[in-house]
Amino acid sequence: MAGGETVELAGYRFKVIPQAVIRRLLFDFLPYFQAGKPRFALTITRIGESTGPQEIYWAIRFSNGDETGGVISVPELQKNKSHSPVMVGGKFLGYTGDTLIILPEIPTKLDFKTYRTLYAFNTTQKTWLALTITAGLIAGTLTALLQWLICLLN
């Protein structure tokens, strides 16, 4: 099951939610598929003293440790003011398994040795969806055939 948490770092508060409305309505119950490019809405709120514009780094971390990410330009924000929504994600999900959207401990530096997790989800192969649908169709067909045979025998 996918989910996220609010993270406070370097005078900012970060919160990520899926961009797709259907995912939010279904509490992100639907799976994420390998080779997809999901997008997420990131809200950045200034909770510390105001500073000038900054660049915030983020990444998607795959279960094998590989990372792909980007940078967000954040304008100068006054205390308790937000910059939203900023779109993150949109990266090719090349691996299956647990996948994380992360921020480095110091979000203004490109160093992911230590990081904080904003959002976690599992990436699965589309093959499993196809197998599930196929198994459901076969089971439904066999059930209908069995009922038809039972009706013929009675």
154 in a domain, yes or no?
A: no
Count of domains in the chain? Answer: 1
For β-strands 115-124 and 32-33, DSSP reports them as parallel
Residue 109 within a domain: yes
Residue 16 in any domain: the answer is yes
Residue whose tokens read 């025998």: 153
- 138 pLDDT exceeds 70? yes
Residue 128 above 60 pLDDT? yes
**Domain annotation covers residue 145:** no
Structural domain that includes position 111: 3-126
Q: Is residue 139 domain-resident?
A: no
Whether residue 146 lies inside any domain: the answer is: no
Mean pLDDT confidence for 62-80: 88
Looking up residue 84, the CATH number of its domain turns out to be 2.60.40.10
**CA distances from residue 119 to 7, 14, 57, 91, 113 in whole angstroms, order as listed:** 10, 10, 15, 14, 18
pLDDT the model gives residue 1? 52
Whole-number Å distance between alpha carbons of 152 and 27: 46
CB 95 within 8 A of CB 62: yes
Q: Model pTM?
A: 0.76
Residue 75: inside a domain, yes or no?
yes
